[in-house]
Structure 1
Amino acid sequence: MSKKKAINFDISEIADGGVQVKLNRALQQVADNILDPNTDPTKKRKVQLNITLAPNEKRDASDVTVEVKTTLAPEVGVPTTMLLGRDISGKVHVNELKSGAPGQTYIDPDDGKAKTDTGEPVEEVEKEEKRKVIDLQKQEN
């Protein structure tokens, strides 16, 4: 004697396996998101299966739609500091702080050159300043 299931609606077999394919794709997206170093590793991710049933008038059949939705962790923000100021003519200047502290120079690890707090090579800044600086202590003969 064979026992027939009362509910014969297996997720892996619905729509010739189409629901299982969608579920696997969603799980792949979640796994990719978890392994992405640009996302918060502790945030919870979600895979949601929504099964919608639309019965007919006789109530002897129902159209079924299965949706698979994912909720992923967003990428984490990238912090930095922006320096703001005006020059002598009132024009606004905005630069990213590269050195870690305003006014502090640093050695750029990419090219090994000394740079200002905004990333300009110190040599270039000094050349410009030498053109602008008037030495008031210099005696003329």
Structure 2
Amino acid sequence: MQSEMEKIFENIHDPNTKATEKRVLTAKFTLAPDDDREFVQLDMDFTTKLAPVEGLSTRVLTEKDLATNTIGAYEFMSNQRGQTYIDDDGDLKADDGQPVDVIEKEMQKKNNVHQLKRGNE
């Protein structure tokens, strides 16, 4: 019964469940005496009804890389395609959740490679 109570209290504190939803712990005791009525087999079953995890909805953005013929999908984090946003930690992110500074560094590396190729041609 202790472990079932722990499940209930964990469920109560789960932010993904409705706070006011009722949780139920049902105890079933089955007693089966022997022929001499001296010993009784006691079986205890506990069932728990927890609050369900609330559903979640999000938008997924898909794209196809024509160079590699691969398809990517990621959670759409901003309100408009191409728009940046500030996350909970105060970091600037692109609409796919990638840090903008990382994207800019990758773009700079690609530009440097293209400039090196042009210079060596």
Give the CA deviation at 1:91. 1.4
CA distance in 1, matches of 2:71, 2:3: 49
Query: Which residue of the partner structure matches residue 31 of structure 1?
Result: 9
- Highest Rg: 1 or 2? 1
Match of 1:91 in 2: 70
Q: CA deviation at 1:104?
A: 2.0
SS at match of 1:99: coil
Question: How much has 1:82 moved relative to structure 2?
Answer: 1.9
AA in 2 matched with 1:69:
T
CA distance in 2, matches of 1:82, 1:100: 12
> SS of the residue aligned with 2:47?
strand
In structure 2, list runs of 5 or more residues that go unmatched: 112-121
Question: In the superposition, relative to structure 1, how do residues 107 and 64 fare at CA in structure 2: closer, same or farther (>3 Å)?
Answer: closer
Shift of 1:78: 4.7
What is the match of residue 59 of structure 2? Answer: 81
User: Aligned-pair RMSD on alpha carbons?
Assistant: 3.2
3-state DSSP class of the match of 1:54? strand
Q: Which structure: greater strand fraction? A: 2
| TM norm structure 2 | 0.61
Greater relative contact order (CA < 8 Å, ≥ 6 in sequence): 2
Q: Tell me the residue number matched to 2:104.
A: 124
| Counterpart residue number, 1:52 | 30
Offset at 1:38? 2.6
Count of aligned positions:
106
Runs ≥4 residues deviating over 4 A? none
Question: Normalised by the size of structure 1, how large is the TM-score?
Answer: 0.55
Name the CA shift for 1:93/1:26 in 2 (closer, same or farther; >3 Å): closer
